[in-house]
């Protein structure tokens, strides 16, 4: 058996952080088992699906490094759905129903008023052929429901939640097709999982009841269902399900200067017993992925934690990974000098401006001015080919007796116009002899 997972977004909007997490976990599990990761575009809703969102989903996955092994579109699979549908109708597992939305709503209210569960009463099954013919003659098109087997128990061993049990008799026969012939989610998804050989489905716990219904669909089609893993949903920092999480997508993270490696490192571990760490090597994340380590409590997503992780990720990235995204002139030596002080990659431009200038010289008192003038004179005499910073500070210390902060801080401020930053031993060679002497003598 080849492990095959799938990620199945609807192209009605951009991916958000919850979608990204589901895609990542499906990708990680497939990679761990040498399997396949399938992208399924759920575009059965022609009115709401847009091609720009399909392009966006593919681009977002590529940016995150979650390239699928195959892609299918539900809109190109209607012939398959129709064939399965016809078989289920013939077998009596799918039936037409004619109630309007208003009638169904009234039924639910009556049931609730009587203290009964608001499930569909299967009135459509009692219709005679003549009654159905009359609806057809009046131009009333039916919607279609899947008939659950109330005598069959619904059970599965969820990879995260453990043993699950549902009573079919307490559930409504789900509508699988609208009166206009368009498909709802449930049946096409099950048909695709069967046809594509999906072995494992990782999705949010809000789909648990869908899984119970779909297991009966798999049984009705005579096919083996996938294994399911339902993970706890993300919550925001306020400690409850957050609408804001639905707006946090790749564009937001990219515009905020977040690296894809940071998003992957956070979401791979969020909600598990494993610590969130600045892991750049994805093979480590693949190797450590384990459903047994997933918790049942909602996973808390914190942008501040992501920002901190992003900085720690940046501090590990080699120059070759970022060379196309940093200012011209930032070679490996410059990158290694600047890298420890970065929060986002956008900070590189600020530090490179410190190197190339011009900078605004600090206002200093007369004593500091005299010290910096002497520093400028000594800077013209030292050897710049090896370690000019330590040569300069050693000469100044010997001549002036200064040490510690009184020695180093005025030099840093004069050379960079900043009170802190990269190691001056690495930064000073980048600034160079002529610029350094000019800055020390300015004022």
Residues annotated within a binding site: 243
Same domain, 351 and 367: no
Q: What pLDDT, in 10s, does the model give residues 130-177?
A: 999 999 999 999 999 999 999 998 999 999 999 999 999 999 999 999
Q: Give the containing element (helix H, strand E) for 96.
A: strand 94-97
- CATH number of the domain enclosing 224: 3.40.50.620
| The domain boundary residue, chosen from 157, 177, 197 | 177
Q: What is the pTM of this model?
A: 0.91
In this prediction, the residues of the chain whose per-residue pLDDT falls under 70 are: 239-243, 443
- The answer, yes or no, to whether the previous bond of 338 is cis (omega within 30 of 0) is no
Bridge partner list, 204: 231
Domain presence at residue 330 = yes
Whether 197 and 171 share a structural domain: no
Cite the DSSP H helix spans in 114-259. 129-137, 186-195, 208-221, 250-255
The pLDDT value recorded for residue 443 is: 57
Looking at the structure, do residues 331 and 385 belong to the same domain, yes or no? no
User: Pairing between strand 143-146 and 94-97?
Assistant: antiparallel
CATH number at residue 408: 1.10.10.350
H helices present in 91-127, as ranges: 101-113
Q: How many domains does the chain have?
A: 4
DSSP code string of 117-158: ------GGGG--HHHHHHHHHTT-PPEEEE---TTSEEEEEE
For residue range 192-221, list pLDDT tens digits in order.
999 999 999 999 999 999 999 999 999 999
Q: How far is CA 313 from the centre of its chain?
A: 16
Question: Cα 386 to the chain's mean position, in Å?
Answer: 45
Residue 375 and residue 407 share a domain: yes
350 and 369 share a domain?
no
State which residues form the domain around 437: 357-441
- Kindly report the CATH number assigned to the domain that includes residue 119: 3.90.800.10
Is there a single domain that holds both residue 169 and residue 193?
Answer: no
One domain for residues 201 and 61: yes
Residue 266 lies in a domain: no
pLDDT reported for residue 242: 63
Q: Please report, in range form, the residues annotated as the binding site for ATP.
A: 243
**Cα 226 to Cα 219: distance, rounded to the nearest angstrom:** 12
Q: How far apart are CA 116 and CA 108, in angstroms?
A: 9
Same domain, 63 and 191: yes
Residues 148 and 173 in one domain: yes
The verdict on residue 286 lying in a domain is no
- The pLDDT of residue 240 is 61
Q: In this structure, are 61 and 202 located in the same domain?
A: yes
């Amino acid at each position: 058996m080849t492990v095959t997972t799938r990620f199945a977004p609807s192209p009605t909007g951009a991916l958000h952080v919850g979608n990204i997490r589901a895609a990542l976990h499906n990708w990680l599990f497939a990679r761990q088992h040498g399997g396949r990761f399938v992208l399924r575009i759920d575009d059965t809703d022609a009115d709401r699906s847009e091609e720009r969102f399909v392009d966006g989903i593919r681009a977002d996955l590529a940016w995150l490094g979650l390239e699928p092994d195959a892609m299918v579109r539900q809109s190109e699979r209607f012939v398959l759905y129709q064939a399965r549908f016809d078989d289920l109708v013939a077998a009596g597992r799918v039936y037409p129903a004619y109630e309007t939305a208003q009638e169904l709503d009234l039924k639910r209210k009556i049931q609730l008023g009587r203290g009964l569960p608001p499930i569909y009463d299967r009135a459509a099954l009692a219709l005679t052929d003549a009654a159905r013919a009359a609806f057809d003659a009046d131009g009333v098109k039916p919607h279609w429901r899947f008939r659950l087997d109330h005598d069959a128990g619904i059970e599965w061993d969820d990879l995260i939640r453990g043993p699950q049990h549902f009573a079919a008799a307490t559930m409504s026969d789900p509508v699988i097709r609208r009166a206009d012939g368009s498909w709802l989610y449930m049946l096409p998804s099950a048909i695709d999982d069967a046809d594509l050989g999906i072995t494992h489905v990782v999705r949010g716990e809000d789909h648990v009841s869908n899984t119970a219904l779909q297991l009966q669909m798999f049984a009705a089609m005579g096919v083996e269902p996938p294994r399911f893993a339902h993970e706890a949903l993300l919550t925001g920092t306020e400690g409850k399900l957050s609408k804001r999480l639905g707006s946090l997508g790749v564009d937001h993270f990219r515009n905020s200067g977040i690296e894809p490696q940071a998003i992957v490192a956070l979401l791979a571990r969020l909600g598990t017993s494993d610590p969130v760490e600045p892991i750049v090597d994805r093979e480590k994340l693949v190797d450590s992925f384990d459903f047994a380590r997933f918790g049942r409590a909602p996973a808390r997503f914190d942008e501040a934690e992501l920002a901190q992780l992003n900085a720690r990720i940046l501090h590990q990235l080699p120059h070759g990974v970022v060379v196309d995204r940093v200012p011209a002139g930032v070679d490996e030596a410059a990158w290694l000098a600047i890298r420890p002080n970065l929060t986002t990659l956008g900070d590189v431009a600020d530090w490179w401006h410190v190197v190339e200038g011009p900078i605004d010289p600090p206002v200093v008192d007369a004593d500091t001015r005299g010290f910096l003038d002497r520093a400028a004179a000594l800077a013209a005499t030292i050897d710049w080919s090896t370690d000019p910073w330590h040569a300069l500070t050693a000469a100044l210390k010997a001549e002036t007796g200064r040490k510690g902060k009184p020695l180093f801080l005025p030099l840093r401020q004069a050379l960079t116009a900043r009170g802190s930053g990269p190691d001056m031993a690495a930064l000073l060679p980048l600034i160079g002899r002529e610029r350094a002497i000019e800055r020390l003598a300015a004022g």
